[in-house]
Structure formats: structure tokens, C-alpha cells
Chain A
Amino acid sequence: MPTTTATITLNSDIDASSLNISNTTTLYKAGLDTGLTQTTGINRRILKATDTLITPLIPTTIGGVFTDDTCDYNNDPTITHNDDSGKIKAGVRVYGEGIPDGAYVSSITSNTEFELSASTTGGSVTDGTLTLEYEAYTANKANKVYICNSSVSETDYIVITIDQEPIGRLYAGDWMFMPWSASNSLSSIYVTAATQTSTVIIDYMVISEGDSA
């Protein structure tokens, strides 16, 4: 079982008595004493000075998307399809004709049927093509996220957002390490570099319990 440790050391003369904190945690699965087993490794994302819009950094899903062109539905959350051998997983986002924005697979009924989180719209569709994500991080577990703004200009910052909630600003050289619930398909982590004057370099990593299967 992997053993992963994360240590923070804070030192400061910010108050009358010096501030010295050092804390090491071993990263375990939720409620267990077995180590987290999966990681994305360190990733690097570079935003050009012209990339000023909010941008997905870490999606709640793992492994991209696939399509299924055998899907039948009709103004209802139930979607039937040919046998997928278990390829479709609960918790992943779904895109396609008649699929409401933000809809995701709420439950798997069988290898030929699943329930969407909302009713489809637009009437009957037969053999429709839907795009689905492969896997989702296990929600509400002990996932951890590290993000560092590795840029050099002190005035440049990125805003970290989960879903639509701005968490905080990482200025050049700042890092963060936090738990991540990935509690639903909307809980992706986004960055916005709205006012930067030069390229922004972002290093990031997820250490997790892996997929929801």
C-alpha cells in the first residue's frame, strides 16, 4: 500500500512570538489507515496572456469522454441503450440532444439502462448519440489537490474556483493543498487569470481514491 506524506512548514516573525509550525500528514483513504493509491502526477498548464476567461483545470472526471449512439429517451430521466458491459458509470456528465445542461448519470439500472439526473427534453429520440465521461473521482472521499502558481510576476494571480464559488487568489509563487470532495459533476476546479500581463504557469496534481466504479 502506498505511503504518501504531505508536510507544511510555516515560519514567520509576523507577531511578537515567532510563528513556527510544522505538520506532516500521511494521506489515507477516507476513514481508513490504508494509503491513497492513485495520482495524476504533477501536471503543468500554461495560460497565455490572452487567456483571461475562466478555464477548467481539474475536472471531476478521469480519462476523457466516449460516445454511445444507441440511446433512446423521451422526456424522461430514463435512458436505454445497447449493452455497454458496464462502461457507463454513475456520476459522470452526459451531453447530447435533449440533455439538460449539467445533467449527469444519477444511477445505473443495468448494462442497458441508466437514470439521468434530470428529464430529457425535446421529445422522443431513438438511437441518439450521447457523449459521456469515462469515470469520476470518488465523491466525498479523501481526495487531495495541490496547485501552485509557478509564474514569476508578483502582480499576476489566478483565481481558484470550485463550481461557481471563488475560493481564493494564488499569486506568483503561492501554492495550495486542500481536500477535494468532487461531490458532484459540477465540482470541477477552475482557474481564471483575468488580468495577467505575461504567461501564467500552473503546476497541479490530484492524489485520490480513484474512480467511482
Chain B
Amino acid sequence: MATTTAAFTLSSSDISSSPLSKSTTATLTKAGTTTGLEQTSGMSRRILKATETSIADLISTTPEFTYTADKANKVYICNSSADSTDYVTVTIHAEEIGRLYVGDWMFMPWSASDSSSDIRITAASTHTNAVTLDYMVIGEGNAA
């Protein structure tokens, strides 16, 4: 059984009157069990050219296998670009989640609840350079 841990540390000495420090570690397990997640897409990289400003699929609910819906899938996405003004908007279905600016990363659960739940990205219409996205899914896989 695979053991995968995801640790998070947030630190700020000066965003409030008392220093802000938060650390937590999760062991990524299958839904409702203590068994570790067993499948991963591995770290992938997608590069959007400066001319690519339309919404595009980044992570599909149906790759070579189908992610099991409404389970404990996790998604990591990082905007590894270099220009500080460039961002990508992350969307699930029709809902805009948020904007990842250069260097920003996100880690979130992903229901993949139906075939419309692909994770999609839109590079800012103003981006002037290629946008580099690194991403990975750690999931339960194979709904069958």
C-alpha cells in the first residue's frame, strides 16, 4: 500500500499583530478508509503559448482510466511561469475557482463528480509569454 503525505506550512511574521504560523500534514487515503491512495498521473507539464487565451482542458475526468467520482481524489496545480503579471484562471464546470499567479500553487480535493467536472484553465488575455503549468492528480482511479 502506498503512503503519500501532503504537508502544508503557512508562515507570516507580519501580516497581523501576532505572527501567523500554520502547519498540517495529511496522509492521503482512499475515501473513508485508512488505505493509501494508489494511483497518480505523475507530474505533468502543460505550456500555453502566448496566443492561447481560450479556455482549455487541463485535467479531464476521463483519461486512460476514469477517476472515481465523489471520492478522495486530490489535485495539485502550479503556475511555473516567470512573468509576474501572467495568471491562469482555474475553472471546474462553469464555476471559476480562482486565479493562479506566477509561482502560485494549489492543492485541493476533486470530486470529478460527472463528465463535466474537468478542470479547465484560461490564460489571461493579456499574457505576453508562454505559461507553464505543472500539475498532478493523486486519485482512486477506475470507477469500474
Which A positions have Cβ atoms within 8 angstroms of B? 2-15, 19, 21, 23, 25-28, 30-33, 35-39, 41-42, 140-146, 148, 154-155, 157, 159-160, 162-171, 173-181, 183, 187, 205, 207
Which residues between 35 and 55 of chain B lie within 8 Å of chain A, taking CB atoms? 36-40, 42-43
A31/B24 in contact, CB under 8 A: no
A168 and B8 contact, CB distance less than 8 A: no
Chain B contacts to A: CB under 8 angstroms? 2-16, 20, 22, 24, 26-29, 31-34, 36-40, 42-43, 70-76, 78, 84-85, 87, 89-90, 92-101, 103-111, 113, 138
Tell me which residues across on chain A come within 8 A of B7, comparing CB atoms: 7-11
In the complex the two chains form, is B95's CB within 8 Å of A162's CB?
A: yes
Given contacts A14-B4, A39-B15, contact A178 B20 (CB under 8 A): no
Q: From residue B70, how far is it (CB to closest CB) to chain A in Å?
A: 7
Is B4 a contact of A146 with CB atoms below 8 Å?
Answer: no
Q: Are the CB atoms of B71 and A175 closer together than 8 Å?
A: no
State the CA gap A141–B87 with chains docked (Å).
10
Q: Report 18 cross-chain contacts, Cβ distance below 8 Å, ordered by A residue.
A: A5-B11, A8-B8, A8-B107, A11-B7, A12-B40, A36-B15, A140-B99, A142-B99, A164-B95, A167-B97, A167-B109, A168-B75, A171-B29, A174-B28, A177-B106, A178-B108, A179-B100, A181-B89
The answer on a CB contact under 8 Å between B14 and A179 is no
Choose among A19, A167, A174 the residue that contacts B72 (Cβ–Cβ < 8 A). A174
Q: A6-B10, A179-B100 are in contact. Are A39 and B20 (CB under 8 A)?
A: yes
CA distance A183 to B78 in the complex (A): 21
Q: Which of B3, B13, B38, B104 counts the most chain A CB atoms within 10 A? A: B104
Contact of B109 among A3, A19, A174, A205 (CB under 8 A): A174
Shortest A19–chain B CB gap in Å is 7
- Contact status A4-B8, CB under 8 Å: no
